Amino acid sequence: MYQLMCDQMKALIEGCSLPLPALSNCAALLWEHLESVNWTGFYLLKEDTLYLGPFQGKVACTVIPVGKGVCGAAARSMEIQLVPDVHQFPGHIACDSASNSEIVLPLVVHGRLMGVMDIDSPEYGRFTQEDADGLTALCDVLAKYVNWEAGLL
């Protein structure tokens, strides 16, 4: 499944490599392919704050300081945050009370943090190392093929 998503994402980026359309399509691709998720999307970094980017799901928190919540922890550490029970995560920010597990991956381009990919699920323990590996490959596609120098549009 993840290889298929990577291949689809590469094809979509070939049509338009600007960040905003690419991230929008990636959020939709995740929404379509992943089971038992209630939010898929991105937060984009500006200075020391993450701002809501393209997503699928219910309305979301618009601003997350780096270091706060699961997204902020991923941004600060630049490491994947695989959280089986968000209610046990210190400082978790509950944008949707239905979310019980979460995975957040840093989106790094040439050593520079651009933002994070965030996926929530109503199921406890929904995300596995297999998900982390597959989503890392998808983030790598975004890092390699999107024209980040162009700005969002």
Per CATH, the number for 2-8+40-146 is: 3.30.450.40
Q: Say whether pLDDT at 16 is over 90.
A: yes
Across the range 51-70, mean pLDDT stands at 97
Across the range 76-84, mean pLDDT stands at 98
Give the 3-state secondary structure of residue 142: helix
Helix/strand number for the chain, H first, E second:
4, 6
Q: Say whether pLDDT at 31 is over 90.
A: yes
pLDDT, tens digit, for every residue of 34-51? 999 999 999 999 999 999
Q: Which H helix or E strand runs over 19? A: helix 19-33
* Residue from 74, 68, 134, 142 nearest 104 by CA: 74
Q: Say whether pLDDT at 95 is over 90.
A: no
**62 confidence band (pLDDT: 50, 70, 90):** very high
The H-assigned helical ranges of 17-116 are 19-33, 69-77
Q: Which two tokens stand for residue 69?
A: 């919540």
Q: Say whether pLDDT at 148 is over 90.
A: yes
- At 153 the pLDDT is 81
Domain boundaries of the chain, sorted by first residue:
2-8+40-146
Q: Work out the burial of residue 35: count CB atoms within 10 Å of its CB; fewer than 13 is exposed, 13-18 middle, 19 or more buried.
A: exposed
Q: Say whether pLDDT at 66 is over 90.
A: yes
* Residue from 116, 119, 145, 146 nearest 131 by CA: 119
> What average pLDDT does the structure give for the chain?
96
Give the 3-state secondary structure of residue 11: helix
pTM of the full structure: 0.96
